[in-house]
Amino acid sequence: MELILKQDVANLGFKDDVVTVKNGYGRNYLIPQGFAALATASAKKVLAETLKQRAFKEESIVKAANKGAEALKALEVKLTAKTGEGDKLFGSINNANLSEALAAEGQEIDKKFIIISGGVIKRTGKYSAKIRLHRDVIVDLPFEVISEKN
């Protein structure tokens, strides 16, 4: 079943992509939730025209995302956390914590656009996260988790 996505769907595609999915997934989940619409011939023509008009606007958005990427690369992010014996953390560090740390540095990034390699962090040390500023602009952000001084 061919569908046109109305919004970004994780592990499937971005808004306005034409994707092929199994019939049940499309009929029972994507279409009723409003995530997609059937990709008929007329819908594809409307999509092509919309994409042509949006190409110019998209260029300025990509430029802004690239500027944001340069600003992120210049940051040195250090997250402090309470630790127990050795380097083990009380609790964990996740993408929400990293989003808050970036907001404190002046970079507002939603936590859903941050992917920490390995998921949650449970030990101090140096780590890396991928931040998606735009579908074409993904930044690798190195950061460090350090022990909180008592």
Residue with tokens 């958005």: 61
Tokens of 136: 């074409």
Q: Kindly list the structural domains of the chain, giving each domain's residue range(s) and its CATH number in brackets, ordered by start.
A: 2-66 (3.40.5.10), 68-147 (3.10.430.100)
* 17 contacts 47 by C-beta, under 8 angstroms: no
| Distance between CA atoms of residues 23 and 35, nearest Å | 14
Q: What is this structure's pTM?
A: 0.66
pLDDT string in tens for the chain (150-residue length): 999 999 989 889 988 899 999 999 999 999 999 999 999 999 999 999 888 888 878 888 888 888 888 888 888 889 898 888 888 988 899 999 999 999 998 888 888 889 998 888 999 999 999 999 888 889 999 999 998 875
The helix (run of H) or strand (run of E) holding residue 42 is helix 41-74
pLDDT tens column, 103-126: 998 888 888 889 998 888 999 999
Alpha carbons 23 and 77: distance in angstroms, whole number: 45
The per-residue pLDDT for 150 is 54
| Per-residue confidence (pLDDT) for residue 126, from 0 to 100 | 92
**Contact, 114 vs 95, CB < 8 A?**
yes
Q: Would you state the pLDDT for residue 44? A: 93
Note the pLDDT of residue 136: 82
